[in-house]
Chains A and B, each alone.
Chain A
Amino acid sequence: MKAGFESAAREALGDSQLRRNMARATTTIRARRAAAVAEVEDWEELREAGAAIKAAVMASLPRQLERLERAVEERGGRVHWARDGAEANAIVTDLARAHGAGEVLKVKSITTDEIELNQALAAAGIRAHETDFAELVNQLAGDWSSHILVPAIHRNRSEIRLLFEDTIAAGRRLDEDPVALAAAARGHLRELFLRVPFAVSGANFAVAETGSVAVVESEGNGRMCTTLPEVLVTVMGIEKVLPEWRDLEVFLQLLPRSATGERMNPYTSIWSGVHAGDGPREFHLVLLDNGRTDVLADELGRAALHCIRCSACLNVCPVYSRVGGHAYGSVYPGPIGAVLTPQLRGLPQAPTLPWASSLCGACLEACPVKIDIPTMLVHLRGRVRREVGAPRGERAALAAAFRVLSDRGRYERAQRLRRLGRGALAQLLAAPWSRSRELPEPPPQTFREWWDERG
C-alpha cells in the first residue's frame, strides 16, 4: 500500500490479459445480478430492512455480542475474544496445537486473510489447506485474492490448467474444460476432507438470539469443513452479528442475488454450538475486533461495517472493473475496500484509497444494504487531508486559491490575468490535475464585467 493506489493502478492497467479477464467477468456478473434483482418486486423494501437491521446492530453492538456469546456457550460452543489479528492467530494456533493438528482445513474466509492466519499457522509449523476452488488456485500460485467473491477472477481457464498440472495434478494432462478442472480439485480435496480433523472457517452471519452461525457458499467445501472435522474454529468480525433469527429472512434474500446473481446459493450451513452425533465435537467462535471498534467510532464511516461482502459494488465499479483487485493493496478491494481498508488499518496506512473512485455512485445503487460509499469517500478524503496532510503542491494551490477567492479585488484581477494569456501559468500549475482532464477556456467576458456593463 505504501506505493499508493495510483501507481498500482497504472501498473495493473498495463496488463492486457488482466484487463480482458476483468472486463469479461464483471460484465457477466453484472448482467446476472441485474436479472436476479429485477425479479424481486420488494427489493427496495428488503434493502431498507437490511440497512436498518445493520444500523440497529451497530447501535447495540456490545449487547448483541454478549447475547451471542451466551447463546453459543449455552449450546456447548466456546467463545474467544481477540483485539487484533495477532491475538486471533494465537488463539487458533494454540487450539490447533492443543489438538496436535499439523494440518488444518480452511473454508474461504476474508477475515482470516485480513489477519494473515495462514502465515501465522505456517510459522507455527501448521499447514493450512484452502478448500474453496479459487482460494486453492491462489494458494497454489502463491497469489492473493483479487475479488471478494471470486478470488481468482483475474485468472482464466488456461492459466488454471497450467497451474494444476504443475501442482495438484502433477504429471497429468488436464483438459481446459472447467468441469475437468473442478474434478481435479475435487479429487485432491476429498482425501483431505476425510482425513484432517481440524477446520477453520469464517462466518457470514451469527444470530445473537439463537447462537447460530451461518456460512453461505456454492461448492460444498464449507459443508465439508463445518461437518466432517472433530474440531471447528470460526473466526468472525464482531460486526457480523445479527440480533434475531428472523433477520436472516432478509439477508438470505439480499446476499445471494447481489453476490452471484442467484435466487439462492447452492449451500447455506447454519449451526448452533455443538450438536450431539452430528458434526464437530468441539466448536470455537473467535470474535475479532482488529480495528472495527475504531470504524464504529466514526459516525459517518461506521456504515462501512454494514457490508455483507456480496461484492456487487466491485462488479459495477468503473475503476475496479478496469484495474482489478490487487491495486487496492488489501483483501478488501473495490469501492467497499476503498472505505473499509483505510478505516480498519488507520488512514496513514492507506491514504490514497479514498481517491480510488470517480464518485459516480454506481456502488451505492448496487449495495444491498444501501451503504453510501460515495459520501463516505468524500468524508474520508477530508479526514486524510486533515489528519495525514496534503501534498505540498496541493496545500500551496489551495492557500493561493483561498487568498484570491476571499477578496473581491484580487479575484477580479486574477480573472483578467487569466484572460490576457497569463493563463499559461495557471495551466502549468494545474498540470498534475489536468493530465487527464481539460482545463476550460476562459470566456471572453466574465459575469461580473457583463453585469457592470448592463449598468
Chain B
Amino acid sequence: MSAASTARAEILRRATAAIGAAGAEPVTVPRRYRSAGGLGPEGRVDLFCERAADYRARVHRFAAAELDAALAARCEELRARRLVAAPAAPWRPGGAEVEVDDPPLAAARLDQLDGVLSGCAVAIAETGTVVLDGSPLCGRRALTLVPDLHLCVVAAANVVETVPEAVAALAPAVAAGAPLTFVSGPSATSDIELQRVDGVHGPRQLELFVVWY
C-alpha cells in the first residue's frame, strides 16, 4: 500500500475503534428552532433593508420602472463611470460605460474598474445578507470581489426571512455544484482593538437596490 492509502486506512480504523459502542446508536437531532419566519412580503423587505443598512450597506428601494434611472443617479454620485456587469445582469445605468463579463475579464482588468453590477440569488432579512450563487445573473466569484464598489440588485420576491429558509432555497444550486458567497455588508475587520473598520479586501462599498417586480 502507498503511504497515502495507509494514512487513509489508519485514520478510518482509529476513528472506528475510538467511537466504539457509540457508533452503533444513532443520534437524533432535535430541530425545534424556527425554520420559517412569520412576516409578510412587505415586512420581510423592511426587515432586510433595516438589517443590511445596520452593517453599513447603502440600501435603496425602487419600483422596477425607476431602477435604471436610480442606478444612473447613484453611479453619478459615486463617480463610478467604468462598470462591469455579470453576464445576465440587464441593467445599464445611463452615463456609465458597462463591459459585460462575457468572455471573462482578467482579474487585473477588474482591479482597474470602478464597480460591478450583479443580481443575487437569495437575500436574508434577519441577517441583512445577500447570497450570490455564481449564476449568470450573479457572475463568477471574482467579478463581485475585485472591484471596490458592488452594486447589487435584490428582487423583493427573493427575500426570505430566516437563515434556514435561505439554506433550503439554496439547496438545489448547491446540489448542482454552484459556489456560494454570503455577503453581509461591505468588507470589514475588527482586528484593531475590536473596532469594526469597513473595507479591507472585498468591495469597500456595497450598494443594494431592492426592487419590486
Contacts and interface: CB of A to CB of B under 8 A. Distances in A.
Nearest to A108: B191
B188 A293 contact: no
B111 A52 contact: no
A182 B175 CA distance: 37
Interface in B187-204: 187-195, 197-203
A99 interface: no
A263 B51 contact: yes
Nearest to B164: A249
B34 A150 contact: no
Nearest to A76: B177
Interface residues of A, number: 94
A133 B189 contact: yes
Interface string B169-213: 001001101111111111111111111011111110000000000
Contacts, number: 251
B41 interface: no
Nearest to A263: B127
A248 to B, nearest CB: 6
A65 B177 contact: no
Could you tell me the dominant secondary structure of chain A's interface residues? helix
Contact of B187 (A32, A55, A219, A262): A219
A8 interface: no
A83 B191 contact: no
A279 B29 contact: no
Contact of B145 (A56, A224, A268): A224
B200 A289 contact: no
Interface stretch (A110-118, A269-277, A352-360, A396-404): A269-277
Nearest to A39: B126
Interface in B1-46: 3-4, 7-8, 10-12, 14-20, 22-23, 25-35
Given A245-B174, A275-B177, A228 B107 contact: yes
Given A134-B191, A219-B188, A59 B25 contact: yes
Nearest to A88: B7
Interface in A285-303: 287, 289, 293-294, 296-297, 299
9 contacts: A48-B32, A59-B23, A80-B4, A150-B190, A219-B189, A220-B203, A227-B141, A228-B145, A264-B182
Complex A-B, nearest 7 residue pairs according to Cβ-Cβ distance, in ascending order:
A220-B202, A220-B201, A264-B127, A293-B14, A296-B18, A297-B18, A56-B27
Interface of A: 21, 24-25, 28-29, 32, 41-42, 45-46, 48-49, 52-53, 55-56, 58-62, 65-66, 75, 80-83, 87, 131-134, 137, 150-153, 156-157, 160, 178-179, 181-183, 185-186, 189-190, 193-194, 210, 212, 218-221, 223-224, 227-228, 238, 245-246, 248-250, 252-253, 260, 262-273, 275, 277-279, 287, 289, 293-294, 296-297, 299
